[in-house]
Structure 1
Amino acid sequence: MTNGASKMAAASAGCGWSVLKWATGTNFAIQLAGFSIANWFKTEKFFDLTGAMTNIVVPSMCFFMGRNNRSSRLLVCKIQYACVVLWAARLGSFLFYRVMKDDGDRRFDKIKKSTASFFAAWMVQGVWVSLISLPTCCMFLMQKNIPVRPAPAHILGWSMFAVGFLLEAVADQQKLSFNSNKENEKEFMRSGLWSLSRHPNYLGEVILWWGLYLSAVASTRCRFYRSSMLISPLFVTYLLGVFSLNMLERSSEKKYGSHPDYQSYKDTTRKLIPFLY
């Protein structure tokens, strides 16, 4: 590589890191602003909505600002960007509707009473946004020879995203419809997708982020970026498939443990992956 080419590559990488830093800073600035307002009014009603907004803002900055907007002109980047925006818009609007419908989120009943705990929740959300958007941002900012046309790995990744997205959306809607029926107030969800997995919405989320990781790594040959990007799907898998899932399992056991059919449901239906886990 000539000195000129080396300087251009270094300048390009530096530009990418600069945009990523700005996007990360913007993310946490929005979280801080959201916390300040939410803490003043002691409300959590727009917590998830802020998360969805920053999940659009961060990749958008990388998409439109990276490499003199080169990413915004490439088909593979356009599809990846559309996937992220579609997911964030769908989940954000769903969660906002649900929290307004329920007039709150019981997860925050104790948390919002403590300024420190409430602040920590918003900052954790900022970390979550930064980590899950990392592969997509790297795809927009740091690739050298991204293909003009999608490669088989891109197609596979986006197919996984589509499966995960539909799984999550359908599971959310089934649970929302179930909970909207007052006759089910003391019952637990065990029909539809929930008959195959006790947390099919979480399964869909895990699948779609592994899909977006796969389509992102298909756009670079750099082992450093590929290994760095891996933190995103691993983080989502642990957060949803272990940490949050176990919290919900304990909550369900406390609420439905005495239900005559709940233990049978647990014995015949896997926590996350049908027939496996």
Structure 2
Amino acid sequence: MNGFAWGAFAANLGWSALAAFAVMGVTFAVAVRKGLHRIVDVAWGLAFTAVALATLVASAGEGDDTRRYLVTALTAVWGVRLAVHIGRRGRGHGEDPRYEKMLAKAPGNPNLYALRMVYLLQGALVWLVSLPVQAAAYVSGPLGWVAVAGIVVWAVGLFFEAVGDAQLARFKADPAHRGRVMDRGLWSWTRHPNYFGDFCVWWGLYLFTCDALPAAAVSLVSPVVMSLLLTRGSGQRLLERHMADRPGYAEYVQRTSGFFPLPPGWGRKRERG
């Protein structure tokens, strides 16, 4: 089992918090100026990238360099891709209905309410969920087989997320598909390929900490929290509630796995069995 630099990691927690909240603070200022709070969704991936870069700098001379640079690169690829995708998807649109509804009911100043309930909250979540990225940088010794497995799990996650997003974008770009449910490609294997992809990405990054028991223990909360957010929080549950009344969605739910990918039509085949 490899070593873990507890003291240096503890100091890094402060630097990572500063990076996360700096991104959210700048985003808040831009959002207020533009009158458009939906851009905070773009900042989500960029904040993780900022934490990874801050950790890379702060961990110089600590941990294994291969692990440090690899975890930073994997986090940045995921974060920047997500930010670019969300930015392109929202280009030319007005405020996100979620934020519009929330701010319409905000007590007092809507912008200050958004700062507390959206930006600061997301900054705190970025800091918490990124614990594996931070902890991995302070693990000494070469990559073990568990970390190599982490690369594979991360790659599966990025594939599902990126390909799923691209397939959905092409589907929605066709006017003939307006009002229809996307049930093709990866979306025929799982109702949420992008959320499943996020799930794999963060469990994959967590595996980089498992070469040192202290690092694995201190950062386990992160993939657990992300998994709960994706399946029980603002991810799957909220989206399915929004989609419930769409024509054809109930039938789609019956034949398609809710989260983990399974062969198309698995639900109906199971019922016939």
Q: Distance in 2 between matches of 1:100 and 1:63?
A: 32
Answer yes or no: is the 8 Å Cα contact 1:44–1:112 preserved in 2. no
Equivalent position of 1:227 in the other structure: 217
Answer yes or no: is the 8 Å Cα contact 2:67–2:136 preserved in 1. no
Q: 1:273 aligns with which of 245, 260, 264?
A: 260
Equivalent position of 2:114 in the other structure: 118
Q: How many residues align?
A: 255
Equivalent position of 1:155 in the other structure: 148
Q: Distance in 2 between matches of 1:130 and 1:140?
A: 15
| Greater helix share, structure number | 1
Q: Deviations over 1:4-59 (max 9, x none)?
A: xxxxx99x533332232122123223323322442343212421222222111111
Percent identical across equivalent pairs? 25
Equivalent position of 2:197 in the other structure: 204
Q: Helix, strand or coil: the match of 1:198?
A: coil
Note closer, same or farther for the CA distance 1:51–1:18 as it changes in structure 2 (3 Å cut).
Answer: same
Q: 2:180 aligns with which of 187, 201, 204?
A: 187
Equivalent position of 2:14 in the other structure: 21
Answer yes or no: is the 8 Å Cα contact 1:197–1:270 preserved in 2. yes
Answer yes or no: is the 8 Å Cα contact 1:45–1:100 preserved in 2. no
Structure 1 moving runs of 4+ over 3 Å:
68-71, 101-104, 274-277
Q: Helix, strand or coil: the match of 1:146?
A: coil
Answer yes or no: is the 8 Å Cα contact 2:24–2:120 preserved in 1. yes
Answer yes or no: is the 8 Å Cα contact 1:42–1:112 preserved in 2. no
Answer yes or no: is the 8 Å Cα contact 2:210–2:216 preserved in 1. yes
Answer yes or no: is the 8 Å Cα contact 1:51–1:92 preserved in 2. yes
Unaligned residue ranges in structure 2 (runs of 5+):
268-273
CA RMSD of aligned residues (A): 2.3
Give yes or no for the alignment of 1:134 onto 2:131. Answer: yes
Residue 121 of structure 1 and its aligned partner are, at CA, apart by 1.1
Give yes or no for the alignment of 1:263 onto 2:259. Answer: no
TM-score (ref. length: structure 2): 0.85
Unaligned residue ranges in structure 1 (runs of 5+):
1-8
